[in-house]
Amino acid sequence: MNPNPNAFLQPSWTEQLADPKNWQAWMQPMQGNPFAGAQAYGAFNPFGAQPASGGFNPFGAQPPGMLSDLASSIDPDVLRQLQKDYMAGFTALIQNMSSANSPSLNDKRFKAPAWQSNSLHAFNAAAYLLNARFLGAMADAVKAPPKAKQKIQFAVQQMVDAMSPANFLATNPDAQQKIVETKGESLQKGIAHMLADIRKGRISQTDESAFEVGKNVATTAGMVVFENDLFQLIQYQPLTATVSERPLLIVPPCINKFYILDLQPDNSLVRYAIEEGNTVFLVSWRNPDISLGHLTWDDYVEQAVMKAISVTQAISKQDQINAFGFCVGGTLLSTALAVMYARGERPVASLTLLTAFLDFSDTGVIDVFIDEMQVKLREQAIGTGGLMKGGDFTSAFASLRPNDLIWNYVGANYLKGEEPPPFDLLYWNADGTNLPGPMFCWYLRNTYLENNLRHPGRVTVLGEPVDFGKIDAPTFLYASREDHIVPWQSAFESQTLLNPKKPARNQFVLGASGHIAGVVNPPAKKKRSYWTSPKITHDAKAWLESATEHPGSWWTEWSKFLATHGGKHVPAPRKPGNASYKPIEPAPGRYVKVKLD
């Protein structure tokens, strides 16, 4: 039997969710339910019929599969209280309906006036929300180990979000009204959008025809000055007469394209760093095809990160540079530096890590995808060669916020036939990359599953025991407070691994918002806020209690940090590269333009 190459995205507990028969059984109307005539939930088709969401009676005959397992794992007293609360809520709904009072719908999925204009639609939505709260409370009350409980909560939430009446034409009055108003045109367009997305293999979140890499995204001027099979190195054109003598090397995540840091001139972190008087180099990762499917984590460390450091040193004629790693780029960069310092090299004057894991003790909701069985299946499939497909990453991350990144577009694009508006960030989000199988499997096992990098000397890379404590450099650590990819407390934990004997060399800054929006927050926008504290502690809660909130962008704090470690000011370089590393092509280069198949 061949291992399932998509196992990383399909943990065993989701198998029931993938079987339409189970969905149908869960949603089968129970005897005595006021919606007993509703059609049961079948195969997932937004244009098909969906039962009124009140059709599931939590207290009828015991439902099979996952839901019955939930009930049997809850303290009987707690379950009785949940039942009592549910019945109180359901009785109140029936009374409101009998007296023609529309229930309150405090949920953005039901904000359109059409949901309130008909009492049956309003009741249907309210019944769905009541059932959703009950199922969520059941999942929260389950007696299970933390990891198992998190998977249960995630699975239940996936099911609840998918069952929303807003996701089906038969139960979405807003979409029905649109059909009438457009004389059927919206339905025709919606079906066309769905068929186009089926061919594309993913849901369209933006008008992708509105953007082109190098034309209206990733437009900061520069030249590619080095390339190999793994990456191109871009040296950007200076925007100031003088620059800090030590250059800045940016290592972005290899899971996505680099231009999240260079979307538009007014929100480009790359351009901001240049305007602040830094000579900026950046790693532009190649989007691997099957010919690179044999590459390992060691290859990425040596042939990419360490090579980018040495080329930057050579072009700038500086023994030490300022290094910057974002997300998994930060994990790769830190691993490379640990190897180099173990060999007696001292290549950096400072280190910046943005929303990056070094300690994977708490990986947040991503942990629901990780267990020994799934990692072994992945290793059997691609551990010795092959590709981790970028489309799988996109699907996995979308499932972490399904209402925002999946069902929102099902309703707008398919049910209402709307054209997705142009949005550069969502264009970038859809522009994914592959990873070599051996590299990805090493990363998966040694970080998310076993957290080996956190323990000095537990793993070796390029023959050197990895010990982040050997990296002797002042460090700027940034995390986003609402980050669901890298919980800020986990990024905070990096302070225990870096400069362990000199904790004052670590500067931690916490920004508002999430993994991307928190990072891409230019000062000129005057949005959001960030927190700082001089308190030296390994307790994240204590640090936050002592922190001061500042309005605006954290970029200004980072710029001051860079300036402190940039060395003296020197005339800006007149041309990119040098005699050994001559310009190859203009930025953003051709590697970043390669799309997924």
Q: Which residues are catalytic?
A: 327
Residue type, 554: W
The dihedral over CA atoms of 470, 257, 383, 353, expressed in degrees to the nearest 10, equals 20
331/479 Cα distance (integer angstroms):
14
381/280 Cα distance (integer angstroms):
39
333/347 Cα distance (integer angstroms):
12
* CB 512, CB 530: distance < 8 Å: yes
Cβ neighbours of residue 509 closer than 8 Å, sequence gap 6 or more? 476, 477, 478, 479, 530, 531, 532, 554, 557, 558
> What's the gap between Cα 106 and its chain centre?
27
| Exposure on the CB side of residue 518, measured as CA atoms within 13 A | 25
For CA atoms 374, 376, 378, 381, give the dihedral sign. negative
Cβ neighbours of residue 493 closer than 8 Å, sequence gap 6 or more? 358, 359, 361, 538, 540
Q: b or e along 30-61 (b: 16 or more beta carbons within 10 Å of the residue's beta carbon)?
A: eeebbbeebbbbeeeebeeebbbbbbbbbeee
CB atoms near residue 296 (< 10 Å): 18
* CB 240, CB 197: distance < 8 Å: no
345/104 Cα distance (integer angstroms):
64
Record the tokens describing residue 221, joined without a space: 């001027």
3-state secondary structure 281-321: EEEEECCCCHHHCCCCHHHHHHHHHHHHHHHHHHHHCCCCE
Record the tokens describing residue 429, joined without a space: 């989000």
Record the tokens describing residue 482, joined without a space: 């609402």
72/65 Cα distance (integer angstroms):
11
356/480 Cα distance (integer angstroms):
10
* CB 533, CB 548: distance < 8 Å: yes
Among 503, 508, 515, residue whose Cα is nearest residue 554: 508
